[in-house]
Structure 1
């Protein structure tokens, strides 16, 4: 059964991994290899199906149902996804979630929250997120749905 603590751990892990990808990249490390590990450890691409709609995607490549598409959004450098610049490479130096709400249902947690990103250049963006986390058979919590959008600005 999914618990409140598991929700908070999954959200914090997601935020920490965004910062870590940027730090690895800024230090000259292999951000792509780390991002692939994140996609295996924290998303269910290897075992099932993932619904992923990144913040800054559009057209025919709005949705990223494949690990390759998700990786391209994270770190760019994929000719199949020419508009991807590598969102996680900024680097982001602080990422946190707020105003989370969730529904726990057996092995799933359905979550909505705001996520704030502070860049090394002091830039700040905040996005609305929806996640569905699944407690998988191997005991790991993985994302099966990740939807992200900029807040509506009337």
Structure 2
């Protein structure tokens, strides 16, 4: 059964992973390896289906139902997704969530929140997020739905 504590841990892990990928890039490490591990550990691509709509995607490449598509969005460098520059490479040095609300339903948590990103250059953006986290058979919590959009600007 999913709990409130599991929601907060899953959200914090997601935020920490954004920073970890950017840090690997800025420290001269291997951000692709870090991002691949994030996708393996925290998204259910290897065991099931993931519905992922990143913030800055468009056209026929808007949705990323494959691990390769998600990896391209995170770190760029894919011929299949030439418009992806690697959102997580900025690097983002601080990421946190706020205004979260959720519904717990068995082994699922359906979550909405705002996520704030602070770049190394002091830039600040925030995006609206929806996640569905699933407690998987191996006991790990993984994302099965991740939708992201910029706030509406009338």
Shorter-chain TM band: over 0.9
How do residues 86-125 of structure 1 correspond to structure 2 at under 5 angstroms?
86-125=86-125
Report the Cα offset of residue 106 of structure 1.
0.2
The residue aligned with 2:37 is: 37
The residue aligned with 1:8 is: 8
How do residues 2-151 of structure 1 correspond to structure 2 at under 5 angstroms?
2-151=2-151
TM-score in terms of structure 2 length? 1.00
Question: Gapped runs of 5+ residues in structure 2?
Answer: none
Q: Counterparts of 1:35 and 1:152 in 2: how far apart (Å)?
A: 29
User: After TM superposition, where is structure 1 displaced by more than 2 Å over at least 4 residues in a row?
Assistant: none
Report the Cα offset of residue 41 of structure 1.
0.2
Q: Counterparts of 1:152 and 1:27 in 2: how far apart (Å)?
A: 34
Q: CA-to-partner distance for each residue in 1:11-47, whole Å, 9 max, x for gaps?
A: 0000000001000100010000110010000000000
TM-score in terms of structure 1 length? 1.00
Aligned residues: 154
Query: What secondary structure does 2:143 align onto?
Result: strand
Q: Counterparts of 2:5 and 2:19 in 1: how far apart (Å)?
A: 21
Q: Counterparts of 2:88 and 2:103 in 1: how far apart (Å)?
A: 28
Report the Cα offset of residue 80 of structure 1.
0.4
Report the Cα offset of residue 57 of structure 1.
0.1
